[in-house]
């Protein structure tokens, strides 16, 4: 049985409306980038995914980016990995 991780790249965006006196939380929009095998991830990340089910990353090293098939993240972007069993 192949253990899979769903890979999303998420962007944080402002609400797009003036907020004079009210605080409005930013909105995250996530785009599904595909799946990756859990076995190609580094051991510490694999353990975290198995414990929590989801991991958010704001920085990627080159080997992890290759393993999950994602390029560099720009400002206000993060990587969301979800364990799907």
| Sequence-separated (6 or more) residues with CB below 8 Å from residue 58 | 73, 78, 79
Supply the pLDDT for residue 85: 74
Sequence ranges of the domains in the chain: 4-83
pLDDT digits (tens, 9 = 90+) for 52-71: 999 999 998 888 898 898 98
As beta bridge partners, residue 29 has 11
pLDDT, residue 9, reads 95
**What pTM value is reported for the model?**
0.82
Residue with tokens 């980016």: 65
Which residues of the chain have a pLDDT value below 50? none
Report the pLDDT value the prediction gives residue 78, as an integer from 0 to 100: 93
pLDDT of residue 12: 86
């Amino acid at each position: 049985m192949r253990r899979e991780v769903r890979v999303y790249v998420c962007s944080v965006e402002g609400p797009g409306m003036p907020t004079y006196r009210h605080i409005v939380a930013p909105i995250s929009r996530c785009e599904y980038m595909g799946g990756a095998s859990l076995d190609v991830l580094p051991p510490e990340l694999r353990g975290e995914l198995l414990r929590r089910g989801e991991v958010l990353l704001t920085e990627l090293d080159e080997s992890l980016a290759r393993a999950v098939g994602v390029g560099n993240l720009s400002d206000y972007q993060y990587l969301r990995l979800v364990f799907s069993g």
